Structure 1
Amino acid sequence: MGNRIAKDMINLSPPVIRVPFEFAWGVIPANIKYGKEYRRSENLLKESQWWEYKQHDEYQIFKLKELLEYAYRHVPYYQELFKSINFSPDTFHDLDDIQKIPFSDKNIVNGAGKRMVSDLYKDKDIAVSTTGGTSGIQTRFYNEKGAYGKRELPYINSIWGRIGYVRGKSKLARLRNEILPKGKLWSYDYKNKELIIDSYHLSDENIELILNKLSNWKVEFLHTYPSAALVLCDYLKRMRKEGIVSLKGVLVTSENIYEGQKEEIEKYLGARCFTFYGHSEGAGIAGWCEKSDFYHINTEYGYLELIDENGQVITEPNKMGEIVCTGFNNKVSPFIRYRTGDYSSYCDVQSCPCGRHYKLLNDIKGRWLQEYFIGKKGNKISMASVNMHNGIFDHVRNYQFVQNQVGECIIKIVKDIEYGEEDELKILEELGAKVGDSLSIKIDYVNEISRTKAGKQRFIISNIK
Structure 2
Amino acid sequence: MGFEDRLYSLLSLYIRSPQWVKSIFGRLYLALPPYVRRGRHYPRFLEQVAVHDPAALAQLSRAKLTETLRWALQTVPRYASYAHLLGQLEADPYAVLQQLPIVSKSDVKADLDDLLSRQMPLTARLKTFTGGSTAQPMMFYLHKGVTRTKEYAFMDSFHRRVGLSDKDVVLALRGRSVPGAGRPGASLWMYEPIKRQLILSCDHLERANMPAYVEAIRRWKPRFIQAYPSALHPLARWLKEHPAPDVTAPIRGIMLYSENVYEGQMAMLRSVFDCPILCHYGHSERVLMAASMPDDERCFFWPQYGHVELLDVMGRPVTQPGELGELVGTCYDNQVMPFVRYRTGDLAVLSDRPHPALPGYFAVERIEGRLQEFLVCHDHRLISICTMGAAHFDDLAAVEMIQYEQFRPGHFLLNVVASQALSDAARGRIARAVYAKTQGGCQVEVREVAQIARTASGKHRMLLQHLDISEYFGATLAS
TM-score normalised per structure 1: 0.90
Q: Deviations over 1:56-99 (max 9, x none)?
A: 3322222122112112222222224x15xx53354452334321
Match of 2:259 in 1: 255
Flag structure 2 segments of 5+ consecutive residues without an equivalent.
469-479
Which of 274, 281, 292 is the matching residue for 1:277?
281
Q: Percent identity?
A: 26
Match of 1:221 in 2: 224
> 1:25-40, aligned counterparts within 5 Å?
25-40=29-44
For the residue of structure 2 that corresponds to 1:132, the secondary structure is: coil
Do the aligned partners of 1:305 and 1:325 also contact (CA within 8 Å) in 2? yes
Shift of the alpha carbon at 1:11?
7.8
Which one is further off, 292-301 or 54-63? 54-63
Shift of the alpha carbon at 1:303?
0.7
Compared with structure 1, are the counterparts of its residues 100 and 292 closer, same or farther at alpha carbon in structure 2 (3 Å cutoff)?
same
Match of 2:375 in 1: 373
For the residue of structure 2 that corresponds to 1:321, the secondary structure is: strand
Do the aligned partners of 2:126 and 2:142 also contact (CA within 8 Å) in 1? yes
Is residue 139 of structure 1 aligned with residue 143 of structure 2?
no
Match of 2:61 in 1: 60
Shift of the alpha carbon at 1:420?
4.1
Q: Tell me how far apart the structure 2 counterparts of residues 344 and 243 of structure 1 sit (CA, whole Å).
A: 38
Do the aligned partners of 1:214 and 1:245 also contact (CA within 8 Å) in 2? no
Match of 1:74 in 2: 75
> 1:95-174, aligned counterparts within 5 Å?
95-132=94-131, 134-166=133-165, 168-174=166-172
Q: Tell me how far apart the structure 2 counterparts of residues 285 and 255 of structure 1 sit (CA, whole Å).
A: 14
Q: Tell me how far apart the structure 2 counterparts of residues 332 and 312 of structure 1 sit (CA, whole Å).
A: 28
Match of 1:289 in 2: 293
Q: Tell me how far apart the structure 2 counterparts of residues 138 and 426 of structure 1 sit (CA, whole Å).
A: 38
Which one is further off, 92-101 or 3-12? 3-12
Letter of the aligned partner of 1:87 in structure 2? L
Q: Tell me how far apart the structure 2 counterparts of residues 12 and 320 of structure 1 sit (CA, whole Å).
A: 44
Q: Tell me how far apart the structure 2 counterparts of residues 307 and 327 of structure 1 sit (CA, whole Å).
A: 17
> 1:350-389, aligned counterparts within 5 Å?
350=354, 352-354=355-357, 356-367=359-370, 369-389=371-391
Letter of the aligned partner of 1:55 in structure 2? A
Q: Deviations over 1:320-362 (max 9, x none)?
A: 1101100112110000111111111332322x24354422221
Q: Tell me how far apart the structure 2 counterparts of residues 418 and 325 of structure 1 sit (CA, whole Å).
A: 46
Q: Tell me how far apart the structure 2 counterparts of residues 318 and 68 of structure 1 sit (CA, whole Å).
A: 30
Q: Point out which structure has higher relative CO (alpha carbons under 8 A, 6+ apart).
A: 2
Which of 411, 415, 433 is the matching residue for 2:414?
411
Shift of the alpha carbon at 1:5?
5.7
Q: Tell me how far apart the structure 2 counterparts of residues 284 and 7 of structure 1 sit (CA, whole Å).
A: 22
Do the aligned partners of 1:371 and 1:460 also contact (CA within 8 Å) in 2? yes
Q: Tell me how far apart the structure 2 counterparts of residues 385 and 71 of structure 1 sit (CA, whole Å).
A: 39
Shift of the alpha carbon at 1:210?
0.8
Shift of the alpha carbon at 1:266?
2.0
Compared with structure 1, are the counterparts of its residues 97 and 203 closer, same or farther at alpha carbon in structure 2 (3 Å cutoff)?
same
Do the aligned partners of 2:415 and 2:446 also contact (CA within 8 Å) in 1? yes
Match of 2:472 in 1: none
Q: Tell me how far apart the structure 2 counterparts of residues 24 and 356 of structure 1 sit (CA, whole Å).
A: 40
Which one is further off, 37-46 or 382-391? 382-391
Letter of the aligned partner of 1:427 in structure 2? I
Do the aligned partners of 1:319 and 1:345 also contact (CA within 8 Å) in 2? yes
Letter of the aligned partner of 1:370 in structure 2? Q
Q: Tell me how far apart the structure 1 counterparts of residues 11 and 259 of structure 2 sit (CA, whole Å).
A: 32
Compared with structure 1, are the counterparts of its residues 18 and 228 closer, same or farther at alpha carbon in structure 2 (3 Å cutoff)?
closer
TM-score normalised per structure 2: 0.88
> 1:32-51, aligned counterparts within 5 Å?
32-46=36-50, 48=51, 50-51=52-53
Do the aligned partners of 1:77 and 1:112 also contact (CA within 8 Å) in 2? no
Q: Deviations over 1:13-59 (max 9, x none)?
A: 9756664222211344534421321111112212x1x212x333322
